[in-house]
């Protein structure tokens, strides 16, 4: 298939949240443009069709068997209307409540991720862009992984991936992700920090940065203050930085976490900040606004981007959700994936929710 016509997969996310709404708004905006990159939604066709009617969008949801049938997804279904191809991955009930945790929505969201990932691994889609899922709904469905990053890593059969959040002002990549803070501290090892630096370097080179400048944040206040406030910087983080520099990577630190993000954003001293734990890295990026932020899973054998916000249960079903982060995720996916990658299907089969506990 011509890469320009290979569709970008978009998963619907949690059906009880704003996922269906922002996916449809994004499709309506992009597919209305002549010659637009084809988009292919993975989710529940009935939910999407019902949401399109509720939003008053000129969309005809069309169920297709595979990505090849979506190559003409930008064409109008009828005069003044947009054809949105959907691979049906679930059959959710009509009475599914908006704005509430529901195991059925969690299972449906997981099924869409599985199908889209398998098509990405096979090179049948150009990239995967994901709408938000709800961790409680995923857990209620019996899925043992807490979020997209961990689910995708298992599906792709790769042991080492990282979450990177990016917008026009700041990029950050995480050493530890969805674990309690006490466990995150224990998981910050020399190897984990070193590998994160290497993954960050490779990811930014893929974005076209020839020699990424990588800042590594400390864990403790003032980066440990020479050991007075903790020895993790001395015993773990600094040796990892030295390993990275010995490998030819432009890494520096450990820098105090309360100033390093300002240096990266305001003074442009660095291209990315390696953060030690979830909130240390995500708060600075999200504070700048979630409308254009993008989450990138670095280290997968295919390109995956996502919105940097959640399911927004408080506004689900109201038609007021902002879809700009999803559009930004699509744009970045296209930059990162000039053509679809083809990889052997890993020896990791998708499991049903009942098997995933």
**Domain ranges within the chain, ordered by starting residue:** 1-160+300-347, 168-288
What architecture does CATH give domain 1-160+300-347? 3-Layer(aba) Sandwich (3.40)
Buried residues in 133-149 as b, exposed as e (16+ CB within 10 A)? bbbbbbbbbbbebebbb
Question: Angle at CA 104, nearest 5°, toward 98 and 110?
Answer: 105
Q: How confident is the model at residue 348 (pLDDT cuts 50, 70, 90)?
A: very low
Q: Mean pLDDT over all residues of the chain?
A: 91
Question: If you write DSSP's letter for every residue of 127-159 in order, what string do you get?
Answer: -EEE----HHHHHHTT---SSHHHHHHHHHT-S
Flag whether pLDDT at 180 surpasses 80: yes
Taking CA atoms, 118 is separated from 12, 156, 174, 283, 295, in Å, by: 16, 8, 25, 32, 20
pLDDT at res. 340: 67
Q: What are phi and psi of 294, to 5 degrees?
A: -130, 140
The third-level CATH classification (topology) of the domain covering 168-288 is Isopropylmalate Dehydrogenase (3.40.718)
Taking CA atoms, 57 is separated from 41, 132, 294, in Å, by: 16, 21, 25
Q: Which helix (H) or strand (E) holds 50?
A: helix 45-55
Q: In this structure, is the dihedral angle defined by the CA atoms of residues 268, 269, 273 and 276, taken in order, positive or negative?
A: negative
Query: Which residue do the tokens 């990016």 mark?
Result: 166
Q: What are phi and psi of 305, to 5 degrees?
A: -125, 165
Tens of pLDDT along 253-285?
A: 999 999 999 999 999 999 999 999 999 999 999
pTM of this prediction?
0.87
Flag whether pLDDT at 306 surpasses 50: yes
Asked if 306 and 329 count as a contact pair (C-beta separation under 8 A), the reply is yes
Tens of pLDDT along 16-27?
A: 999 999 999 999
Topology alike, domains 1-160+300-347 and 168-288: yes
Measuring CA to CA, which residue among 336, 288, 337 is closest to residue 309? 288
């Amino acid at each position: 298939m011509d890469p320009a016509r290979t569709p970008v997969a978009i998963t619907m996310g949690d059906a009880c949240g704003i996922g269906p709404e922002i996916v449809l708004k994004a499709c309506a905006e992009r597919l209305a443009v002549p010659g637009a990159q084809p988009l292919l939604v993975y989710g529940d066709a009935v939910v999407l069709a019902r949401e399109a009617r509720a939003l008053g969008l000129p969309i005809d949801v069309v169920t297709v068997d595979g990505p090849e049938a979506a190559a003409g997804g930008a064409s109008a279904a009828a005069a003044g209307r947009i054809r949105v191809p959907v691979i049906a991955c679930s059959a959710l009930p009509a009475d599914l409540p908006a704005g509430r945790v529901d195991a059925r929505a969690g299972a449906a969201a997981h099924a869409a991720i599985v199908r889209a990932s398998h098509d990405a691994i096979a090179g049948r889609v150009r990239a995967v862009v994901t709408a938000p899922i709800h961790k409680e709904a995923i857990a209620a469905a019996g899925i043992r992984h807490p979020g997209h990053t961990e689910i995708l890593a298992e599906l792709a059969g790769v042991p080492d991936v990282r979450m990177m959040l990016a917008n026009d002002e700041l990029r950050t990549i995480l050493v530890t992700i969805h674990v309690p803070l006490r466990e995150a501290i224990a998981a910050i090892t020399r190897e984990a920090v070193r590998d994160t630096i290497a993954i960050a370097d490779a990811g930014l080179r893929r974005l076209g940065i020839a020699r990424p400048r990588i800042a590594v944040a400390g864990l403790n206040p003032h980066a440990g203050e020479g050991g007075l406030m903790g020895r993790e910087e001395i015993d773990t983080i600094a040796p990892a930085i030295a390993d990275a520099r010995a490998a030819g990577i432009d890494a520096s630190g450990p820098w105090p976490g309360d100033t390093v993000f300002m240096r990266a954003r305001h003074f442009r001293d660095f291209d990315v900040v390696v953060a030690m734990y979830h909130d240390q890295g995500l708060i600075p990026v999200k504070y700048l606004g979630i409308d254009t932020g993008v989450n990138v899973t670095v280290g997968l054998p295919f390109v995956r981007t996502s919105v940097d916000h959640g399911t927004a249960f408080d506004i689900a079903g109201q038609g007021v959700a902002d879809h700009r982060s999803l559009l930004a995720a699509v744009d970045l996916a296209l930059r990162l994936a000039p053509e679809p990658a083809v990889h052997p299907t890993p020896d990791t089969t998708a499991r049903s929710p009942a098997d995933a506990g």
